Chain A
Amino acid sequence: MKIDHSVPKEYATEENRLKIFGFWIFIGAEVALFGTLFATYLTLVGHTATGPTGSEIFEIGPVLIETFVLLTSSFLIGLSVHAMRLGNKKAMLTFLGLTLLLGLTFLGVEIYEFTTYVHEGAGLQTSAFTAALLTLLGTHGAHVTLGLFWGLAIIIQVSKRGITPETANKSFIFSLYWHFLDVIWIFIFSFVYLKGLM
C-alpha cells in the first residue's frame, strides 16, 4: 500500500479514499431511507384511529435530554477526530469513549420514552400513527445501537494497533456515521416532536 503523507492519515491510501467516498454514497442511500420513513410518518400522522395523538403522548423533558446528549456526543466525536489528526491517541480514545457513553445515555432515555408510550396506550399495534412513530424513532435508535458496537470495535482496535492509516480511516468513517445520526435526530426533533407538540 502506498501511503501519502501529505494528507491526513484517513485519506493516506487509495483504499482509504475509496472507502470514504463509498461511505458518502451509503449516507446518500440512508438519506433516501429515512426520507421514506419521514414521508410515511407525515402521511400517517393524523391516522390515530382510536389511539392517542402526538400531542397527547409527547413530553418535552426526555426529548430535550436526548437532543442535548446526542448533539454533545456529535461535538465530542468531532474533537476525537481532531485529536486523531494531532496524533494524540489518549485524547482521541477519551473523546470517543465519552461519545459512546452519551450515545448509551441517549438510548437509555429513548427506551424509557418507549416504555412510557406503551404504558400510555401507544403501542406498536395501536394505530397507523403509533406504528409510524415508533418505526421512525426505532430505526434511528437501532442505528445508534449499531453505532455503539461499531464504536466499541474501533476503540479496541485503536488502543491495540494505534493510529494507523487503517484505524484512522475507520474512525473517520464512524464519525461521519455518527454526525449523520445527529442530523436525522434534528429532523426528528423538528418534524416529529416540535410539530407534534404545537
Chain B
Amino acid sequence: MKEYFSRFAIENADDPMIIGAQISIALVTIGIIVGLTYFKKWGYLWRTWLTTVDHKKIGIMYILAALLMLFRGGVDALLMRAQTAIPDNGLLDAQHYNEIFTTHGVIMILFMAMPFIIGLMNVVVPLQIGARDVAFPRLNAVSFWLFFIGAMLFNISFVIGGSPDAGWTAYFPLAGNDYSHTVGMNYYAIAIQIAGIGTLMTGINFITTIMKMRAPGMTLMKMPMFTWSILITNLIIVFAFPVLTIALALMTMDRLFGTHFFSIDNGGMDMLWANLFWIWGHPEVYIVILPAFGIFSEIITTFAQRNLYGYKSMVFSMVAISALSFVVWTHHFYTMGHGVVVNGFFSITTMAIAVPTGVKIFNWLLTLWKGKIHFTVPMLYAMGFIPIFVIGGVTGVMLAMASADYQYHNTMFLVAHFHYVLIPGTVFGVLAGFTFWWPKIFGFSLSERIGKWAFWFIAISFNVTFFPLFISGLSGQARRMYTYSENAGFTIYNMISFVGALGLAFGFLLIVYNIYWSTRYAKRHLTEDPWNGRSLEWATHSPVPEYNFAIIPQVDSTEAFWDQKEHGKELFKGNIEPIHMPNNSGQPFIMSAIFFVFGFAMVFSMWIVAIISAIGIFACMWYRSFENDHGHYIPVEEIEATERKSGVIANED
C-alpha cells in the first residue's frame, strides 16, 4: 500500500516552497467548497457556468482561467529573476530552477496566452460577424473544459509526483526516461495533449463559424480585422496542432511503453522530436501573435477615428505570415548540425517574415497619421506595442542569420528577444483587448486612471526587466542556468532585471486592483458604445443578451456600425422573430472530468483506472450520439421584454 502511494510523492518534499504550495492548494480548495456551500451557490455555479454553452460565458471562463495562470506563471518568473539576481544564490537549487523555467514556459504559452486569446475570440467574434452563437456551441464547451482540465492536471504536478523539468521544448534525450526520472514529463505530454484536443476543436468551430455564419452582406473582405486575424489563426491551429498531437503521443509511448522514437538507442532519433516540436511550435508563435495584431487593428482604428489604412494588404500580410510560419521551424536549432543549405534556406524564409510584419507596422502608423487620437488605456497599449515590438522584431532578424546565431543561441539574448515580441505583442494585445471589450461584456468600464498607472508600470518595468538581458546575453550569459559566478560580470544586468520584474508584478497587481475597484465603484450602464466603436459588437447591448442580436444585422461595409452612426445606414431591418438557441448541458464538464481521471491515471501508469476512464469517455460520446436535443426557442415577448429593459425599444418609440 505504501509502495503504491509512494509514486505520488515528490523528490524534495520537505522544501518549504512545496509544503507551502500544498497547504495553500488545500486551503483554497476547502475555502471554495465551504464558500459555495455557505452561500448556497452550487446550483448557480452548475446552471450558469459549468453547463453553459453560451460563447460569451465560455469566453469569460477562458479569460478568468488565463488570468489565474498568468499569476501562476508570473510567480515562476519572479522566482527565476530572484534566483539569478545575485551570483551564487541559494534560493532555488538546480532541479527546482529547471522545473520552474519549464512550467513558466508551458503555462505562459499554452495556459495563459492561448486561453486569453481564445477567450477574447469567444466573446467577440460571433458579435463582430452578427451571429447568435458559434457553429457548435456544445463542442465549444467541450473545448473549454478540456483546456481547463489540461491546465489543472499540469498544475498539480508541482505537488503530486513532481513538475516537468526538461524545458518547455522538452528536447530528447533529456525528456526521455533515462534523464527525466520523475513523472514530470508524463504530465507534460498528457496535460498538453488534453488541452490540445480542446484547442483543435476550437479551431474547427471558429473556422466554421466565420466561414458560414456571417451576417447578410458581410463578405470575407468586409470582415472586421480582428475576425480576419482569428480566421487565419484558427487555420494555423487546425494544421499545426495535429503535429503536436502526434509528437506528444510518440513522447508518451517512449516514456510509458518503452518505444524508441526519440531515444538514442535502437534506432531512435532525438532530432525528430526537435523537428516535430517546432513544426508545431513556430506556427504556435503566430497563433498567439496574429490575434494580437487583430486586436491592435481594432483599437487603433477606433481611437484614431479613421478607417484602417491598407485593409487588403493587412489581410494579405497575415495570410503570408501564416504560410511562412510553417517553413521556418529549423531556425530554432541552427546550431544542431544541419548543413549550410538547410540553414541558408531557413535563414531566408525567417527573414522574409519581417516583410509582411513590416507592412502591418506601416499600415498602423499610416492609420494614425492625421487621426484624432484618444489616448485611452487600450490605445496606450497599442502605442506601446509598436516601438517595443519593433525592437523584438529587429533582434529577431539578427537571430535569423544562421551564422551569427552561433553567438546568440541559447543565451539570454534569445530570452530577451522572445519576451520582446511576446509581451508587447501578445500580452499587451490581450490586456488591451480585455480593457477594450470589458464594457461590452459587463456593462461598465474599467477605471482609466488606474489602468493608465498599470500600463506605465508594465511598459517601463518590462523594458527594465528585459533590456539588460540583451547585453548579458551578448556577453555570454546562457539561458536556463540556475546560477553564475561573480567573476562572470552578469550581476548588474540580472539585478536590474530583477527590479524590473518586481515592477511588472506590481503593474499586474494594479490590473487586479482595477478590476476590483471598477466592479465596486464604476458607474453602470452609461452607454452601449463607450469608445465610439466601429464594428457590430457595439451595435448590441452591454452586457450582451443571451441571443446577441434581437434582429440579425445587415452589413455592407467593413465598419458597419460606424456607417450606421455617421451615414444613417440601417443595420436592423425586419421584425423580431422567435430565436432558436442551444440548450445547456452538463456533458462537456462531466466528460472532461473523466478526462482528468484518465490523464492522471496515464501519468502514473495506473492502467486499470486509465482503461475504465477511457471507456467512460467513449460512453459519454455514445450517449451524446443518441441524445435528442433540438435546443429551444426564445419567444418574441421575452425578447421584446429584454430589449425594453435594455432601453433600446423604448428609446426608439
Q: A residues near B, CB below 8 A?
A: 1, 17-19, 21-22, 25-26, 28-30, 32-33, 35-37, 40, 43-44, 47-51, 124-129, 131-132, 135, 149-150, 153, 156-157, 170
Contacts and interface: CB of A to CB of B under 8 A. Distances in A.
Given A1-B580, A33-B242, A47 B259 contact: no
Contacts of A40: 246, 250, 261, 272, 276
Q: Is the interface of B mostly helix, strand, loop or mixed?
A: helix
A22 B205 contact: yes
Contact of A29 (B200, B267, B622, B630): B200
Nearest to A37: B246
Contacts of B249: 135
16 contacts: A22-B205, A26-B204, A29-B204, A36-B246, A36-B276, A47-B269, A49-B265, A49-B266, A124-B253, A125-B260, A128-B267, A129-B267, A132-B261, A135-B250, A135-B253, A153-B622
Interface stretch (B206-214, B466-474, B510-518): B206-214
Q: Is the interface of A mostly helix, strand, loop or mixed?
A: helix
Given A19-B136, A22-B207, 5 more contacts: A18-B213, A44-B267, A128-B261, A132-B261, A157-B626
Contacts, number: 114
CB-CB nearest 8 A-B residue pairs:
A47-B267, A128-B267, A33-B242, A49-B267, A131-B259, A32-B242, A36-B246, A22-B208
Nearest to B630: A1
A149 B622 contact: yes
B239 A48 contact: no
Contact of B204 (A25, A132, A149): A25
A131 B243 contact: no
B251 to A, nearest CB: 12
B78 interface: no
B242 A36 contact: yes
B635 interface: no
B257 interface: yes
Given A22-B205, A44-B269, A29 B211 contact: no
Contact of B203 (A1, A29, A156): A29
Contact of B260 (A22, A128, A149): A128
Contact of A48 (B240, B253, B267): B267
A21 B630 CA distance: 19
Given A125-B258, A125-B259, A22 B204 contact: yes
B58 interface: no
B625 interface: yes
- Categorize the interface residue count of chain B: 35 or more
Contacts of A1: 580, 630
Contacts of A124: 253, 257-259
A14 B272 CA distance: 43
B280 to A, nearest CB: 9
Nearest to B208: A22
Contacts of A33: 242-243, 245-246
A153 B625 contact: yes
B253 A127 contact: no
A125 B272 contact: no
A40 B241 CA distance: 16
Nearest to B259: A131
A122 B245 CA distance: 25
Contacts of B626: 153, 156-157
A32 B243 contact: yes
B242 A131 contact: no
Interface in B205-259: 205, 207-208, 211-213, 238-243, 245-247, 249-250, 253, 257-259
